[in-house]
Structure 1
């Protein structure tokens, strides 16, 4: 018992900074594994990510994140798993990570360290909800999967905290709208599925991979590229080259502010949060008038083309279409 408690302190109680790594990209649907050492794979290199990658082999998927780890059998090593980190620490990094990763889908397994460190345990579900809110503001169209965390059966006190935390999550998820989904990562695990009482064994990670895969495949949009904003759905338009977002007729650092949220109408307008329309003719936001400069189409190459001519440009706002990186936009 004493041995595994030391392991928990080392793996879960310390903040271990992960240096930025060279990312791998397949050009597929961008999936962000987000969490702590269980996402990183403390006792089993790659953790659940190895099995999930293999189970999603029939889909074109690109794992994204600033960290990189795992075995050769894991085809894409990128992730955002930070050993020892609590929810508040993940929250502190999420703006930068979403800006860099531009995820279509987020897999969030977090809270174990809050409970293990006895860090304001009662408020942990609310902190997780606030983290999801921030993700939603930065990527309104992302499909966000929130896990009820894996058990800690060897410690009755910690397992009691886990059960109370998990019991609060259905309400937390339900309040975040139809693109936020709950995933059960707690039931059906036995002590034999946990290497040190906390971190899964290879069999435990295989179970996690199965459950993530089933959840993703139950929401087809989570594995489908998003080339244009759905009509009447809030969206953020981000330029991958500059790592900046469209903001009230200008381009600014992506930070989730309301002025970076746009709604595409059936008429092809891009309406700002104040109800005005993006206008290519003025390179600004103006009262909506149905003119060609306020109607936009989205090309498969990422270009946003105005009905009056020209393309949305991260440098000059609008310019002649030339297919450069400054004119390629991702929707999230």
Structure 2
């Protein structure tokens, strides 16, 4: 009888929790993906959502959905309520900057985020862990993120307030160093952005002196959303990031211009050159011969009739340049059009890419690990 009652109790609890739309458990789980722009929420318990499971991710997800952005939260952790459409994240309660740093390269490579939301440093203050050197640890962590995913936009937040006056004084000292750190990365060409999160909350928004209330987390969500909207491409475009499949993109013999989705400019041979080694670039679409590309049954992209789009030297590394060369049938001259608009270099299994999401005339093209960003999507025109 007792066993029967225990089983009934478990069943009733399951029904109640399901009716509340609650996802049980915290930790690793099967990843959820809708094919959208990959965003990694990265940090400690404030990212995980201690006290309010899901934390700021709930309000951020709802804003993204209302704005018609298609975003895929990524990370090795999983928690939050049913109202949170994607439960993946990289928030680790109790972790300091150095602990995140010890794992970030692997996470970045595994999940290849297009955008990173970083809120970290609170536990360095709470644990009084070499507080004076915390800004340098943050700087090193940002360097490791940008090295692992150099095309990602990294949003670095100042940490939110703390109720303890001594800890809050240390938090303010730490936060005061963050703008200079971010600016140093920007000056070196990195895609790093400052988010002033500290000013968005007060200690009245804290449920336990450390973690926000539901309302406090929603203020964080609003700050993240505004920051993301201010950086083009960081969350794709309203209405979704997935283009309609290009009609018969690989039909042999078809000749047309190829326009970049992110830049609106065309795949072009620099200077209308026909010399071997002339670099491919993006340029205003003009209908000239150096922008007319013919797909062949050999998976080539030919220009001028006898030159092929070519990965320089048969390179396979991220950043290998793209040129034209006499057609020779080698794998570094084979390209595959994909239904999401990307163009894969068959020999390297990497995508035709506009560096750093640039939209300027004359930017030279490369191959890069495929990430679905607008700078890797193309359409025939």
Q: Could you tell me which of 184, 187, 195 is aligned with 2:207?
A: 195
Q: Deviations over 1:124-162 (max 9, x none)?
A: 11111111111111111101100001001x212101111
- Cα distance in 2 between the residues matched to 1:29 and 1:189: 28
State the shift of 1:195 in Å. Answer: 0.6
Aligned to 1:27: 35
Change beyond 3 A, Cα 1:289–1:217: closer
Note if contact 1:304-1:312 (Cα within 8 Å) is conserved in structure 2. Answer: no
Q: Could you tell me which of 312, 317, 326 is aligned with 2:348?
A: 312
Report whether the alignment pairs 1:49 with 2:67.
no
Aligned to 2:172: 163
SS in 1 for 2:40: strand
Note if contact 2:161-2:168 (Cα within 8 Å) is conserved in structure 1. Answer: yes
Q: Could you tell me which of 76, 97, 115 is aligned with 1:66?
A: 76
- Cα distance in 2 between the residues matched to 1:219 and 1:69: 27
Aligned to 2:371: 330
Change beyond 3 A, Cα 1:230–1:149: same
Matches within 5 A, 1:214-293: 214-224=226-236, 265-266=280-281, 277-279=312-314, 290-292=325-327
- Cα distance in 2 between the residues matched to 1:141 and 1:184: 23
State the shift of 1:198 in Å. Answer: 0.8
- Cα distance in 2 between the residues matched to 1:211 and 1:71: 21
Matches within 5 A, 1:44-123: 44-57=52-65, 58-123=68-133
Q: Deviations over 1:30-69 (max 9, x none)?
A: 1000000000000111000000000111100111111000
- Cα distance in 2 between the residues matched to 1:93 and 1:215: 25
Q: How many residues end up aligned between the 2 structures?
A: 257
Report whether the alignment pairs 1:175 with 2:184.
yes
Note if contact 2:280-2:322 (Cα within 8 Å) is conserved in structure 1. Answer: no
Note if contact 2:157-2:195 (Cα within 8 Å) is conserved in structure 1. Answer: yes
Report whether the alignment pairs 1:36 with 2:12.
no
TM-score (norm 2): 0.61
SS in 2 for 1:74: coil
Aligned to 1:211: 223
SS in 2 for 1:136: helix
Change beyond 3 A, Cα 1:30–1:140: same
Aligned to 2:146: 136
SS in 1 for 2:83: coil
- Cα distance in 2 between the residues matched to 1:287 and 1:52: 38
SS in 1 for 2:95: coil
- Cα distance in 2 between the residues matched to 1:286 and 1:72: 45
Q: Could you tell me which of 328, 337, 343 is aligned with 1:299?
A: 337
Change beyond 3 A, Cα 1:287–1:95: closer
Q: CA RMSD for the aligned pairs?
A: 3.1
Note if contact 1:279-1:286 (Cα within 8 Å) is conserved in structure 2. Answer: no
Q: Deviations over 1:242-281 (max 9, x none)?
A: xxxxxxxxxxxxxxxxxxxxxx9528665xxxxxx34179
Note if contact 1:297-1:304 (Cα within 8 Å) is conserved in structure 2. Answer: yes
- Cα distance in 1 between the residues matched to 2:185 and 2:107: 20
Change beyond 3 A, Cα 1:280–1:102: closer
TM-score (norm 1): 0.69
Residue range with higher mean Cα deviation, 114-123 or 208-217: 114-123
SS in 2 for 1:95: helix
